[in-house]
């Protein structure tokens, strides 16, 4: 597991760099294609506010109650947001995949403990 994490961590550093470059490009062009794509996938304005407010609310519930059902819902929102973001910022696909692996490991552990 440690070797896998070290491999993923190295790749995520590259993703971070690629993503920073894309964000720099995005902030320098007001009407860029990226903004249009973000809007297309509901990652601007009120749709983004709704997704983020629900994510923050679920995160608070999870912190206060620490119930697996809140974690599963939080993962669902993360899937939706990361899924859309990874269509616009391709390097985020690696982050999404890593999150999905962690999610499955947690869910498997949860099922075993019942």
Tens of pLDDT, residues 37-70? 888 998 888 888 888 889 889 888 888 888 778 8
d(CA 112, CA 100): 18
**Better-predicted residue by pLDDT, 57 or 90:** 57
| Res 83 pLDDT > 60 | yes
Q: 103 near 77, Cβ under 8 Å?
A: no
Confidence class for position 5, pLDDT limits 50, 70, 90: low
Q: Kindly give, in sequence order, each residue whose CB lies less than 8 Å from that of residue 49, ignoring residues fewer than 6 positions away.
A: none
Element (H, E) at 8: helix 2-28
Torsion angles phi and psi, residue 29, rounded to 5: -125, 110
For residue 27, the model assigns a pLDDT of 61
Q: Kindly give, in sequence order, each residue whose CB lies less than 8 Å from that of residue 70, ignoring residues fewer than 6 positions away.
A: 58, 61, 62
Q: How many domains does the chain have?
A: 1
Q: 83 near 70, Cβ under 8 Å?
A: no
Q: Which domain holds residue 71?
A: 2-113
């Amino acid at each position: 597991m440690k070797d896998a994490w070290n491999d993923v961590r190295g790749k995520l550093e590259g993703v971070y760099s690629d993503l920073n470059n894309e964000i720099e490009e995005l902030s320098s062009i007001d009407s860029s294609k990226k903004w249009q794509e973000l809007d297309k996938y509901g990652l601007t304005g009120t749709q983004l506010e709704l997704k983020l407010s629900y994510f923050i609310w679920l995160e608070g519930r999870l912190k206060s109650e620490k119930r697996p059902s809140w974690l599963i819902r939080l993962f669902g929102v993360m899937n939706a947001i990361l899924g859309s973001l990874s269509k616009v910022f391709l390097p985020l696909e690696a982050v999404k995949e890593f999150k999905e692996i962690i999610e499955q490991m947690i869910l498997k552990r949860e099922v075993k403990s019942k």
